[in-house]
Structure 1
Amino acid sequence: MAELPTPIESYIAAYNAIDVDAMLACLADDVHFQNIAEGKVNAETRGKPEFATLARAGAAAFAARRQTVTHAITVAGRTIVEIDYTATVAADLPNGWKAGQKLAFRGASYFELSDGLISRIIDES
């Protein structure tokens, strides 16, 4: 597998550790984030403060979570990674997931870098 650019590798490690502050340290101030599920954008943020709010809510929702990169390609400051995702739900959630439920799915993430920081993330599953 291709080596990941350092900010992306650090971001995924922080995500897996449920360390939101370390995730934020990898991001540009004007970071743009989108989560796409089943072809629809179900979450979007612009800027670090909005991302932080979403990331803290996401961190609280899971007792454990892990992104494992299975493939990656980087070209001209843009990286696409295929990810195997597993998680354990911490508390009953509005979408019907129950506390203790185990999740597992595949997805892909697109990252753009600017001045050594992540400026755009698109997660799709």
Structure 2
Amino acid sequence: MTTIPALIERYIDAYNAMDIGAMLAMMPENIHFRSIVDGATYAQAHGKLEFSQMATFAISAFKWRRQVITHAITVADHTLIEVDYFGEPAMDLPNGWKAGQEIAFKGRSSFRISGQHITQIIDQS
């Protein structure tokens, strides 16, 4: 595994802590986020406001969640990480997950960094 940029490590720490403010502090106003599930776009956000709204819902939907980075590769301004994801929904979710059900799956995220900001995140699972 290559060295993970400190900015991405801080983002994952903030994600795991469900700290939206810390996550947003690492992003420019024009952040682009997309979540791809089974090859189709599941959710996307353009800008900090949309990202904040999406993250606020996600936090309310889970009692806890955690990403553990298992692999990473960085080329220029792009970093791809593979993660083991664990969590417990706080409510029944549209994808079939039930409140109280412990979930675990593998995923990957692509980050683009410019200066001291994460400018793009694409999650795939």
**TM band (smaller chain):** over 0.9
Matches within 5 A, 1:8-47: 8-47=8-47
CA distance in 2, matches of 1:121, 1:96: 25
Aligned-residue identity in percent:
50
Question: What value does the CA root-mean-square deviation take over the aligned residues?
Answer: 0.9
Correspondence for 2:4? 4
Moved over 3 A (4+): none
Q: What is residue 58 of structure 2 aligned with on the other side?
A: 58
Separation (CA, whole Å) in 1 of partners of 2:94 and 2:108: 24
Aligned to 1:107: 107
User: Aligned partners of 2:96 and 2:106: how far apart in 1?
Assistant: 20
Alignment partners' CA distance in 1, 2:29 and 2:115: 11
* TM-score of the pair, normalised by structure 2: 0.96
How many Å apart are 1:48 and its aligned residue? Answer: 0.6
Q: CA deviation at 1:46?
A: 0.5
- Partner of residue 123, structure 2: 123
CA distance in 2, matches of 1:63, 1:72: 27
Q: Partner letter of residue 67 of structure 1?
A: Q
Residues 87-96 or 107-116, more deviating: 87-96
Report the AA paired with residue 99 of structure 1.
A
Structure 2: gaps spanning 5 or more residues:
none
Gaps of 5+ in 1: none
Aligned length: 125
